Structure 1
Amino acid sequence: MISIVKDLAAEALFVSTIQPSDCPNTTTVEQAVTAMILLHGSDGCAAEVATEFGDHPDCAVRRMNWVHEELTGVVAPTSVLT
Structure 2
Amino acid sequence: MSNTLSLASMSNSDLAQVLFSSGLQASDHPSPEQVRTAIYACLCACDGDRSICAALVAQEAGDHPESYAARMRWALSTVSAAYAAAA
Q: What is the TM-score with the length of structure 2 in the denominator? A: 0.76
Q: Does 1:38 align with 2:17?
A: no
Q: CA RMSD in A?
A: 1.9
Match for residue 64 of structure 1 among 59, 64, 72: 72
Residues 3 and 68 of structure 1: is their aligned pair in 2 closer, same or farther, counting only changes over 3 Å? farther
Q: Is the 8 Å Cα contact of residues 16 and 79 (structure 2) preserved in structure 1?
A: yes
The residue aligned with 2:59 is: 51
Residues 73 and 63 of structure 1: is their aligned pair in 2 closer, same or farther, counting only changes over 3 Å? same
Q: Does 1:28 align with 2:46?
A: no
SS of equivalent residue, structure 2 residue 81 = coil
Structure with max Cα Rg: 1
User: Unmatched 5+ residue regions in structure 1?
Assistant: none
* Deviation readout 1:23-51 (Å, 9 max, x if unpaired): 10010000001111111220100000000
Question: Aligned pair count?
Answer: 76
Instruction: Give, as a single letter, the amino acid of the residue that structure 2 aligns with 1:65.
Output: R
Percent identity over paired residues: 34
Instruction: Give, as a single letter, the amino acid of the residue that structure 2 aligns with 1:33.
Output: I
Moved over 4 A (4+): none
